[in-house]
Chain A
Amino acid sequence: QVQLVQSGAEVKKPGASVKVSCKASGYTFTAYAMHWVRQAPGQRLEWVGWINAGNGNTKYSQRFQGRLTITRDTSASTAYMELSSLRSEDTAVYYCARYQGGGGFDIWGQGTMVTVSS
């Protein structure tokens, strides 16, 4: 079946970087864009950025410019989100989500908890 499986929880110190993976299965990876969304504890969803899995083009939220890198490995059907210069406010669950068109994210990963703490 169509699914996205993300890497496990991470604990990082302030100033460090984290790289979260999202492995797709059950569909043609390069035919869909992949988005990243985060949710701080008890807070709303926040859009982070996306990658065109076919050509690798990316677009990031202004909030993360300079700290965020989204990449993909088509041979592994996997997308990656790397966030650097981590601060406590980056503590959140990070989700990958497939974009199906019409503004809708139809398949979501299970989420990866990233905790930033000294």
Chain B
Amino acid sequence: QSALTQPASVSGSPGQSITISCTGTSSDIGGYNYVSWYQQHPGKAPKLMIYGVSNRPSGVSNRFSGSKSGNTASLTISGLQAEDEADYYCSSYTVSSTYVFGTGTTVTVL
């Protein structure tokens, strides 16, 4: 199972909105609504930000939103803040009853 494809880096100024894409296939993202997104700061464990494509866990800011179209999922961060600077990973359930993560995206706040 190949990793899902994400851009290596995305940047934006404080207050702006950015979108991170996550491209898979019909065997993973395109076939199931089990896409999740994680934020990871250096040296820390990942934190769940979005699950089930577009659902936010309790406690996660509503500045984070998720969507999916075909084989591509997206995470949008609106009102970008300095604390949003981190690595972000997407994940999806697959046709093999396994899970796969994305290649990861580093978000930089300019």
CB distance from B105 to the nearest CB of A (A): 10
B57 near A103: Cβ-Cβ < 8 Å: no
B46 near A102: Cβ-Cβ < 8 Å: no
Q: Which of A41-49, A66-74, A81-89 contacts B (4 or more CB under 8 A)?
A: A41-49
> Which residues on B sit within 8 Å (CB–CB) of A50?
99
A109 near B98: Cβ-Cβ < 8 Å: no
Question: What 0/1 pattern do residues 74 to 94 of B give for CB contact below 8 A with A?
Answer: 000000000000000101110
A44 near B102: Cβ-Cβ < 8 Å: yes
A110 near B34: Cβ-Cβ < 8 Å: no
| Whole-angstrom CA separation of A111 from B46 in the bound complex | 10
CB distance from A118 to the nearest CB of B (A): 26
Summarize A's interface: helix, strand, loop or mixed: strand
> Which residues on A sit within 8 Å (CB–CB) of B89?
44-45
| Whole-angstrom CA separation of A45 from B38 in the bound complex | 10
CB distance from B56 to the nearest CB of A (A): 10
Summarize B's interface: helix, strand, loop or mixed: strand
Say which residue of B1, B96, B97, B99 sits within 8 Å of A35 (CB atoms). B99
Interface range, A side: 20 to 34
B51 near A108: Cβ-Cβ < 8 Å: no
CB distance from A117 to the nearest CB of B (A): 21
B48 near A47: Cβ-Cβ < 8 Å: no
| Whole-angstrom CA separation of A61 from B101 in the bound complex | 12
- Cross-chain pairs A/B with CB under 8 angstroms, 20 sampled: A37-B101, A44-B89, A45-B40, A45-B89, A45-B91, A45-B104, A47-B99, A47-B101, A61-B98, A101-B52, A102-B33, A102-B34, A103-B52, A103-B91, A103-B93, A104-B50, A104-B57, A105-B91, A106-B51, A106-B57
> Hey, which bits of chain A sit against chain B, CB under 8 A?
35, 37, 44-47, 50, 59, 61-62, 95, 97, 100-106, 108-111
